[in-house]
Amino acid sequence: MGIVAAAVDKGQLKNGVQKGPKETREHGLERLFKKLGAKVNDYGEVTQPKDRQPDVILNCENQRALVKTNIELTECVAKSVSENDMTLMLGGDHSVGFGSIAGHLKIFPTSFVVWVDAHADINTPRSSVSRHTHDVRSIGIEGVMETALKTIMRFSPNCQIHLSFDIDGLDPKYAASTGTPVPGGLSLEEGKYICKTLGQTGENEIILYCSLGLLKSMVVAEVNTLLGSPEDAKTTLNSALEIIKSALLLD
């Protein structure tokens, strides 16, 4: 089991999300790994320049800092994925999706990504209204997923899986301490079901047309305990741990 932390907040505007990795660790993650009974390799924490950069490149802010951070993150994630059966990456804001996916793909080029998020995150740089880098993506939500996964299975029946889970995909009842909570999100049980089902792939389980996939890496992002009440923060951290436990088949 490899763990990579990314103390990154420059993909959006709210302070505090960079503390997510440390607080998730301290909230019970070490006890979780002990329960798992696996050897844990800690690859440390990828950080970012402290000051926000004034640069706006292609309509997105802080690009130089984020590019530098994600290049470092790519190498760190790739090393972990190559050396472990499973890699867990803790964000930070969801701009870490760039480096985490790139790192996974360096080791497993034939893979697919399951992206759980309250927001589509499929803007191009020029179309981004928020100017948040984590809003920029190039493919696939909702109805597109069925076609995409059928296509992937046609060409790559033994693909690996990368799961990127933005905690704001859960309803604020379960994860209010996040930058952009949206009412009507997933219940905690629904989020856990997604993770557990992906964790079971490769064990004769069927998930989204993929019977032979393997969950090799996952990200949990956007936990920000400076937002909301102390009780909100505790609930959000608990939800993050439950999501991780489900992916590791510990619940």
pLDDT along the chain (251 residues), means of 10: 87 78 91 82 82 54 72 94 94 86 94 81 47 41 49 67 92 93 88 83 52 78 93 97 92 75
Cis peptide before 2 (omega within 30 of 0): no
Are 223 and 169 in contact by the 8 Å Cβ rule? The answer is no
**Looking at residue 127, what is its pLDDT?**
44
d(C-alpha 203, C-alpha 123), whole Å:
36
Prediction pTM value: 0.80
Are 86 and 1 in contact by the 8 Å Cβ rule? The answer is yes
**Please, where are the H alpha helices in 84-202?**
97-107, 143-155, 188-200
CATH for the 2-247 domain, from 3.40.800.10, 3.30.300.20, 3.40.50.720, 3.30.70.20 = 3.40.800.10
**Every domain of the chain and the residues it spans:** 2-247
